[in-house]
Each structure stands twice: as structure tokens, then as C-alpha cells.
């Protein structure tokens, strides 16, 4: 069984004071090893909730979800994934290298293993030389790269990224996107990436999951035929634009289904 993530009829309903909110409804999805999967959709479509459910930060209320054939809870206890949040969430009392060491300390790596992994992951995200800096001494883009290094440090095969570059400006974002592709190529990890930017999703992914809100559900799954080697100017090619158009159609379809578009 090579599926890293497998969801069948997955549903999640939040109970709130204003009644039930259906965050996910009847989601069926399989993610194979080594894929780069983007989740795209308007806010409220459940893309972040789905990612958090994979991470066992939310509990599904119906259907089944397995990570490497295990329940999400067991997968979390096995440290099966690294999670990159919307905000860097670096601890301000720790230096960058100590922040990257945080999961390694918790998981009981020896001092020499910690040092070796810190050096390797900091090289990987191009942060060498900033080991002794504190997070608040770095720019937002560098902070987010440090948080990616932290998620990579313990070698989980699955990387979950929740709009990691959402708060950054376009120039920094382009740069980090192409670095992320190189990193994916180098590490052969499976990546789940939440975004609300169509070009970002098309540029990065081998598979794009289009979602729509109320209730949160999958409206389209698009397999990308773009080559794995992707320079930034691939975004001007007809193939790229065709996929982007299909994503846009999928997003629009999801909206008209709801009947609330203008």
C-alpha cells in the first residue's frame, strides 16, 4: 500500500453556539508517495481543516482517514509528518538553531545528531550563518524558512504546509516557491500544500485539489502534466495557463453550485 494519505467519505462537523458548521463533507482523496499536492479554494472551504485533520489536530466526525495505513493519532505519535503553519511560530527565547533543535530535543536525538541535522537542514533552506540569531532579528521570509527547516529536521516523509508564504510579499514568495520545488526534488518528500493562489498551486503541484465552501468539499482533482523541472518562467507557457484555467473553472463551479456568486 503506497498511499501516504487516504481519505474515504471523510466528514467533519464543528459544533458551535450558532449550530453545526459542516467543515468537510464526503471527501475522497488518495495521495501517493512523492506527490506534491496543493489544496486550493476560497476561505471556509475546509482546506486548512483537512490538513489539520491529517495532522490529528482536528478529529473527523465521519468516514475514515489513514496516514501510511495508520490512524492519524498513531501517525502523529510516530512523528510521520512535519507541519509548517501560516505563521513561523518560532519560539522567541530560542536562537534559530535552538528552534530547529526543538523537535529533535523532544524526540530524544543525541547532541551530535542534533548538530548534524541542524547544519543539514539550515543548508537546505539557505539559512547558514544565522544559527545564533533570534527569530525577531530575521525578516518574515527568513523566519518562515527557519520554520520549514524545523519541520524537515526530523526526517518525516510527509510535509504539511498551511499557507506558509501567505503573509509574504510576491517577490519573496516567488523565490521561496522555487526553493521549495528544489527542496522537494532533493528530499523526495510527499508535500501537502494549502494555498489560495492559483499560480502558486499550479507552479508547485503534481496534483491540485480544488475545494469549495459550505459545506467544504472537493470539486475537482487536477493531475498536472508539467515537467518536474520548473523554472519560474514556466508560468508563461500554454500548458501552465491551461491548468490554471481549469483550476479557475473549478473554483467558479464550486461557487455557482452554492448559488452565492455575483
Partner 1 sequence: MSQLQIFLALVAGGLSAAAFALSVVTPFEQALLLKAFLALGFLSLIRFFIPLGLWADGAFALLGAVALLTSLGIFDPTPAFFWMALVAAWLFAWLFVERLSKALAPKLGDNAGLGLLIPVVFGAALLVIWEVVTRGANVPPVLLPAPSMIGAQLANSASILWADFVQTFIKSVLPGYAIGCLSGLVVAILVDRSPFLKAGLLPIGNFMSALPIIGIAPIMVMWFGFDWQSKAAVVVAMTFFPMLVNTVAGLNASSSIERDLMRTYAAGYWQTLMKLRLPAAGPFIFNALKINSTLALIGAIVAEFFGTPIVGMGFRISTGVGRLAIDLVWAEIAVAAVAGSVFYGVIALIERGVTFWHPSVRGGRA
Of 70-78, 172-180, 185-193, 231-239: span binding partner 1 (CB under 8 A): 70-78
Sheet holding 207-212, edge to edge: 81-84, 158-162, 190-195, 36-40, 207-212, 217-223
Q: What is the CA radius of gyration of the chain?
A: 19
168 binds partner 1 (CB under 8 A): no
Question: Shortest gap between Cβ of 43 and partner 1 (angstroms)?
Answer: 17
89 binds partner 1 (CB under 8 A): yes
Of 10-18, 100-108, 121-129, 181-189: span binding partner 1 (CB under 8 A): 100-108
Sheet holding 62-67, edge to edge: 19-32, 3-16, 62-67
Q: Which is nearer to partner 1, 151 or 244 (CB)?
A: 151
**Quick one: which H or E segment has residue 189?**
none
Question: Shortest gap between Cβ of 44 and partner 1 (angstroms)?
Answer: 19
For 6, phi then psi, to 5°, come to -140, 120
- Give the other-Cβ count within 10 Å of 140's Cβ: 14
CB-side exposure of 171: number of CA atoms within 13 Å? 0
Answer for which of 70, 79, 132, 245 binds partner 1 (CB under 8 A) is 79
11 binds partner 1 (CB under 8 A): no
Q: Which is nearer to partner 1, 55 or 208 (CB)?
A: 55
For 111, phi then psi, to 5°, come to -55, -45
103 binds partner 1 (CB under 8 A): yes
Q: Which is nearer to partner 1, 101 or 198 (CB)?
A: 101
132 binds partner 1 (CB under 8 A): no
Residue 195 DSSP SS3: strand
136 binds partner 1 (CB under 8 A): yes
Do you find a cis peptide bond into 122, omega within 30 degrees of 0? no
231 binds partner 1 (CB under 8 A): no
Q: Can you read off the three cell numbers belonging to residue 79?
A: 512523528
Answer for which of 13, 61, 86, 187 binds partner 1 (CB under 8 A) is 86
87 binds partner 1 (CB under 8 A): yes
Of 104-112, 173-181, 202-210, 242-250: span binding partner 1 (CB under 8 A): 104-112
167 binds partner 1 (CB under 8 A): no
For 227, residues 6+ apart whose C-beta sits below 8 A from its C-beta are none
> In Å, how far are 12, 160, 253 from 257, measured between CA atoms?
20, 29, 6
Of 12-20, 30-38, 81-89, 240-248: span binding partner 1 (CB under 8 A): 81-89
23 binds partner 1 (CB under 8 A): no
**Quick one: which H or E segment has residue 226?**
none
Provide the binding-site residues for partner 1, judged by CB under 8 A.
55-57, 76-79, 81-83, 85-87, 89, 91-93, 102-103, 105-107, 134, 136
Amino acid at each position: 500500500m503506497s498511499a501516504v494519505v487516504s481519505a474515504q467519505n471523510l466528514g467533519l462537523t464543528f459544533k458551535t453556539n450558532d449550530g453545526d458548521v459542516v467543515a468537510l463533507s464526503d471527501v475522497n482523496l488518495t495521495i501517493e508517495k512523492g506527490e506534491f499536492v496543493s489544496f486550493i479554494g476560497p476561505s471556509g472551504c475546509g482546506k486548512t481543516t483537512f490538513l489539520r485533520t491529517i495532522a490529528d489536530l482536528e478529529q473527523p466526525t465521519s468516514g475514515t482517514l489513514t496516514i501510511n495505513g495508520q490512524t492519524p493519532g498513531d501517525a502523529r505519535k510516530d512523528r510521520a509528518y512535519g507541519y509548517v503553519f501560516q505563521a513561523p511560530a518560532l519560539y522567541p527565547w530560542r536562537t534559530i538553531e535552538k528552534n530547529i533543535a526543538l523537535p529533535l530535543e523532544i524526540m530524544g536525538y543525541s547532541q551530535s545528531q542534533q548538530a548534524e541535522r541542524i547544519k543539514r537542514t539550515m543548508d537546505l533552506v539557505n539559512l547558514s550563518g544565522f544559527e545564533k540569531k533570534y527569530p525577531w532579528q530575521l525578516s518574515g521570509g527568513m523566519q518562515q524558512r527557519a520554520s520549514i527547516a524545523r519541520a524537515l529536521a526530523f526526517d518525516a516523509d510527509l510535509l504539511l504546509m498551511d499557507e506558509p508564504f501567505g503573509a509574504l510579499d510576491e517577490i519573496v514568495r516567488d523565490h521561496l516557491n522555487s526553493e521549495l520545488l528544489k527542496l522537494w526534488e532533493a528530499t523526495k518528500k510527499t508535500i501537502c500544500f494549502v494555498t489560495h493562489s492559483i499560480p502558486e498551486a499550479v507552479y508547485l503541484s503534481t496534483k491540485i485539489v480544488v475545494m469549495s465552501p459550505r459545506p467544504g468539499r472537493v470539486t475537482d482533482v487536477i493531475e498536472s502534466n508539467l515537467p518536474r523541472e520548473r523554472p519560474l518562467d514556466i508560468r508563461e507557457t500554454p500548458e501552465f495557463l491551461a491548468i490554471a484555467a481549469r483550476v479557475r473553472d473549478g473554483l467558479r463551479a464550486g461557487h455557482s453550485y452554492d448559488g452565492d456568486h455575483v
